Amino acid sequence: MLHLLDFDGYFFDFDGLLASTEKIHFHAYKLMLLNHGYSLPWDFTTYCSFAHQSTSFFANSIYELFPDLQKKEPDWMLLREQKQKIYLDLLDKEPVDLMPGVERFLDLLATHNKPMYVVTNAPKIQVEKIRRHQPVLNCFRAWVTREYYKHPKPSPEGYLKALQMLGNPMCKGVGFEDSVKGVQALLHSPLEPVWICPEEYPKPPELSSALKWIYPSFEKLLADFL
């Protein structure tokens, strides 16, 4: 069993792990594509199977689905920027809930004075909108958002940056992720990886076999621990 309180540092992804934002991202992509005249036929599970890989993998999957879109706009980052603006607008319309068990888990770590960090591919403006409505998220010592490193997950660069902030790049740390690209980033870092993977998210067998700790939620993790 995972010994939750035996680590020197605790590192968390944000979207889909701490905050329930994945379906809002999905909605934003659908709206962006509709603005260009395309209707995304995927359900949420299919979306996750592509979006949780890498930016380039997701972009190629969309372009394969809509080859005319690639001819019209071959620069995926411009399309992604359009999606990000839609996503920010959606965040203004309603608050985002925390994922099941998150508040209880963070309270447990805070009670034991454990240092906690967020490492996310999301930019600061997105996480700040959510943090305003979720005071429990103020427990983190630092937020390593997209502005702080060059290469996004699955690169481990964001986690290595967070370890530098901790002041001990080789500390006994543990990282929590919900996506394939996030877990891949952890596997290339010094951190012990824990995959919090909801039932509807895809789990590639080759990745599952490489991990010791996989839970469907923080609620289940806490139930096993306590």
Q: What is the pLDDT of residue 169?
A: 72
Contact 153, 171 (CB under 8 A): no
The number of folded domains in the chain is 2
Same domain? For 13 and 43 the reply is no
Percent of the chain residues topping a pLDDT of 90:
81
pLDDT digits (tens, 9 = 90+) for 209-221: 889 999 999 999 9
The reply to whether 46 falls in a domain is: yes
Same domain? For 133 and 167 the reply is yes
Per-residue pLDDT averaged across 69-88, rounded?
A: 97
Which secondary-structure segment (H or E) carries 62?
A: helix 55-65
State the chain's mean pLDDT as an integer: 93
Inform me whether the pLDDT recorded for 133 exceeds 70.
yes
Enclosing domain of residue 47: 22-93
The reply to whether 3 falls in a domain is: no
CATH number of the domain encompassing residue 119 = 3.40.50.1000
Q: What is the pLDDT of residue 95?
A: 81
pLDDT digits (tens, 9 = 90+) for 24-45: 999 999 999 999 999 999 999 9
The reply to whether 1 falls in a domain is: no
Last residue of a domain, one of 93, 113, 141: 93
Same domain? For 67 and 123 the reply is no
pTM above 0.85, yes or no: yes
Same domain? For 144 and 49 the reply is no
DSSP letter at 96 equals P
Same domain? For 80 and 177 the reply is no
Q: What is the pLDDT of residue 2?
A: 65
Rounded to whole angstroms, the Cα distance separating 128 from 160 reads 22
